[in-house]
């Protein structure tokens, strides 16, 4: 009797395993499985590099994280939205630029400095929080209805637009 039970269990196992393999392949089944595999194989591309100062940049789509070369870890980081409304590319580092009518969201640690090639510098001060050095009046802060106009993500703590010289706040 034990022998027959073991054989019966073996046959049940084999028949259960075989059902998936004998599923009829139709064009619809093939399309569904290929679409599923396409969705699974499209992770967001991450790019990393280090600039001449030793800062590490990590870009995923439009979001950029900056890990400064040397800083005291306080645990505070912020998201800063920067939109380029000029006709020129704005270089953030050798390999990162913000093209005209494009934006980037930077993850910045509270002891970091973001320096752009147009002379604009975003930095955290010891007493006043975020400070902006803008000698050519090229930065405008965004708020209110302009947050929607520029499609600023909800998680951004600060939002700025880079405008032509003399047109900033």
**Domain assignments of the chain as residue spans, ordered by start:** 45-70, 77-162
Tell me, what's the pLDDT at 167? 87
CA dihedral sign of residues 22, 26, 30, 32: negative
Tell me, what's the pLDDT at 71? 47
SS3 content of the chain, % helix, strand, coil (to 5): 25, 35, 40
Phi, psi at 57, each rounded to 5°: -110, 135
CA torsion 156→157→162→165, rounded to 10°?
170
Q: HSE of 152 in the Cβ direction (CA atoms, 13 Å)? A: 25
Please write down the long-range contacts of 125-133, taking CB distance under 8 Å and 24 or more positions apart. Answer: 130/78, 130/80, 130/158, 132/160
Tell me, what's the pLDDT at 27? 54
Per-residue pLDDT in tens (0 to 9) along the chain, 169 residues: 555 565 656 555 656 555 444 555 555 555 555 555 555 555 678 888 888 777 788 888 888 887 776 645 565 888 999 999 999 999 988 889 999 999 999 988 887 788 999 999 988 766 567 888 898 999 999 999 999 999 999 999 999 999 999 988 7
Question: What 3-state DSSP class applies to 136?
Answer: coil
Structural contact between residues 118 and 162, judged by C-beta atoms closer than 8 angstroms: yes
Cα 151 from Cα 99, distance rounded (Å): 16
Phi, psi at 74, each rounded to 5°: -110, -15
Name which of 146, 77, 87, 150 is nearest 118 in CA terms. 87
């Amino acid at each position: 009797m034990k022998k027959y039970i073991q054989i019966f269990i073996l046959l049940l196992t084999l028949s259960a395993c075989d059902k998936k393999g004998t599923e009829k392949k139709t064009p619809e089944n093939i399309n569904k499985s290929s679409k599923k595999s396409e969705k699974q194989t499209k992770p967001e591309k991450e790019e990393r590099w280090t600039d001449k100062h030793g800062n590490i940049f990590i870009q995923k789509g439009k979001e950029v994280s900056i890990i400064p070369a040397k800083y005291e870890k306080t645990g505070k980081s912020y998201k800063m939205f920067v939109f380029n409304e000029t006709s020129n590319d704005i270089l953030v580092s050798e390999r990162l630029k913000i093209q005209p009518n494009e934006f980037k969201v930077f993850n910045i640690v509270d002891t970091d400095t973001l320096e752009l090639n147009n002379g604009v510098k975003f930095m955290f001060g010891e007493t006043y929080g975020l400070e902006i050095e803008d000698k050519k009046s090229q930065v405008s802060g965004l708020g209110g209805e302009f947050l929607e106009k520029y499609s600023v993500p909800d998680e951004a703590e600060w939002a700025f637009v880079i405008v032509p010289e003399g047109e900033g706040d």
